[in-house]
Amino acid sequence: MAIHVKDQADFNAKLQEAGDKLVVVDFFATWCGPCKMIAPKLEEMANEMTGSIVVLKVDVDECEDLAVQYNISSMPTFVFIKHGATVETFSGANYDKFEITFECIEELKEDLEWKMIYVGSAESEEYDQILDSVYVGPIPEGKHMFVFQADPPNVTRIPENDAIGVTVVLLTCSYRSQEFIRVGYFINNEYTDPELRENPPSPPQFDKVTRNILGSEPRVTRFKITWEDPNTLQQQEQVEEENISTVNDPGLINENSNSLTAMEV
């Protein structure tokens, strides 16, 4: 289970007790909506991985000295510590992940490229952000599954008027640089505080915004592509052209006929 830290001394003692385990420190605040949203997932992770990690929860209002020590400016912020040294830090409550299952009816010799794209504004694609991309392959025939997870979008690149409300996250897949499927999930960005929902502040207070993915209502678009290797297709076309030329050349037909006649004699 996740362990609540009381103060600096308690924190140092917990790091010492962790030994060789990875320590995940959750800097949170009781008034932080995203912190409340991710808390159950953090507790679940702590219970499932109790043999390999230690999860510490630090309330930034109760342990201001620790927040200053680790330069915490937004919540939640997660600090990963190993043997007393910080190995990674990131902020945000984006634990949403997509479990992708697909089936190949025959082997694909090259990788599939999957992308996760956040649509920052319906007005222009310039605000789209590629949150992550991953290559999967080569792909043998059969059913396959993997988990695709990405960091949240950079809020500074989202127009203020589009920060709150409904937008879209796109999952796309391409083969040989040809996109053949696009799945869109609607996302609702909203404040947890009723007062903020009624009177949205300007600029938006992103640390008090929660995001809900409407995963049950995706929109799917498919595109026709060329699955075969272009070089192989070109070679096949050349062979077909040569065969057609051979059949249509009277001189070659006469020559072959003469050879057959000579062999028969």
DSSP 6: -
Residue 126's region, left for phi above 0, alpha for psi from -120 to 50, else beta, is alpha
User: Which tokens hold the place of 200?
Assistant: 């949205």
Those residues whose C-beta lies under 8 Å from the C-beta of residue 198, and which sit 6 or more positions away, are none
Cross-strand partners of 70: none
Return the biggest CA–CA distance within the chain: 107
Dist. CA 183–CA 217, nearest whole Å: 10
Distance from C-alpha of 58 to C-alpha of 2, rounded to nearest angstrom: 10
User: ∠ CA 144-148-150 to the nearest 5 degrees?
Assistant: 170
Classify each residue of 168-203 as buried b or exposed e, where b means 16 or more C-beta atoms within 10 Å of its C-beta: bbbbbbbbbeeebbbbbbbbebbbeeeebeeebeee
Q: What is the dihedral of CA 126, 88, 147, 1, to 10 degrees?
A: -130
Query: What are the residue numbers of the active site?
Result: 32, 35
Q: List CB contacts of 257: < 8 A, sequence separation 6 or more.
A: none
